């Protein structure tokens, strides 16, 4: 029986090309990622439109206030299920590892790009794992509070005091998830070569060796084509 990969997914592999590339995300994963991202952006815009009268003009992007109020919770359900698929696929690889503590204590070297002073990492570093678990908790909070204040179906089952608390928590969670999303986008753009993983599905061998060496070593150990160095 083939053991379960510890730092990688079974679909990750080294491609026999020159220059060497490493397959990091399959097509389904990338499509689902972009569905999640697009839905989150649309939810942010529609949520802002409904949050304050000065931003109500944004409802015009969705066809008006009534349609926006109808679409917003539906998009929330889409976000929940698209992220759920991502969670089921990736939660094991986002569990904390001993090297994550070392990476976090050396955040100065991370910012400066001193990779030689950082520990070897699996498929995800501690920053990426923080984003994953923060998104998990915040989306769960948003869906629970969102259902509680969903006027069309569920709000009348929830006492008014509970609804008020739900509205407050929903707003706070929305602000928090936007901050996490901005952090995620910034880190992806800042670390050159990262965006390629979610557009093409591959990274260069050099990128994999520099940023996620344990991940690359595990792939190479089960790949007959040899390591990407």
| Residues annotated as part of the active site | 184
Q: CA 214, CA 212: separation in Å to the nearest integer? A: 6
- Are 210 and 115 in contact by the 8 Å Cβ rule? The answer is yes
Element holding 6 (H helix, E strand): none
Distant-in-sequence, close-in-space partners of 73: CB < 8 Å, separation ≥ 6: 146, 147, 150, 152
The number of beta carbons lying within 10 Å of the beta carbon of residue 118 is 19
Element (H, E) at 205: helix 205-211
> Containing H/E element for 229?
none
CB atoms within 10 A of CB 184: 18
**Residues 171, 51 contacting (CB under 8 angstroms):** yes
Three-state DSSP class for residue 182: helix
Burial of 161 (0-12, 13-18, 19+ CB in 10 A): exposed
Cβ atoms of 143 and 80 closer than 8 Å: yes
Q: How far apart are CA 26 and CA 11, in angstroms?
A: 7
């Amino acid at each position: 029986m083939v053991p379960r990969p510890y730092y990688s997914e079974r679909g990750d592999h080294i491609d026999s090309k020159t220059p060497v590339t490493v397959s990091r995300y399959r097509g389904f994963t990338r499509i689902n990622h972009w569905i999640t991202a697009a839905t989150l952006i649309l939810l942010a815009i529609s949520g802002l439109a409904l949050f304050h009268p000065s931003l109500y003009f944004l409802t015009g992007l969705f066809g008006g206030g009534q349609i926006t109020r109808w679409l917003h919770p539906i998009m929330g359900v889409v976000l929940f299920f698209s992220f759920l698929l991502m969670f089921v696929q990736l939660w094991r690889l986002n569990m904390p590892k001993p090297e994550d503590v070392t990476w976090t204590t050396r955040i100065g070297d991370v910012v400066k790009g001193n990779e030689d002073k950082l520990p070897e990492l699996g498929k995800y570093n501690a920053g990426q794992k923080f984003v994953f678990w923060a998104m998990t908790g915040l989306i769960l909070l948003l869906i629970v509070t969102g259902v509680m204040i969903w006027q069309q179906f569920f709000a009348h089952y929830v006492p008014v005091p509970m609804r008020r608390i739900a509205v407050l928590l929903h707003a706070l969670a929305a602000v928090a998830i936007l901050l996490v999303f901005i952090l995620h986008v910034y880190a992806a753009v800042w670390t050159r070569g990262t965006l390629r993983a979610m557009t093409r599905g591959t990274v260069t061998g050099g990128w994999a060796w520099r940023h996620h060496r344990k991940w690359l070593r595990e792939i190479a150990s089960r790949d007959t084509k040899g390591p990407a160095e």
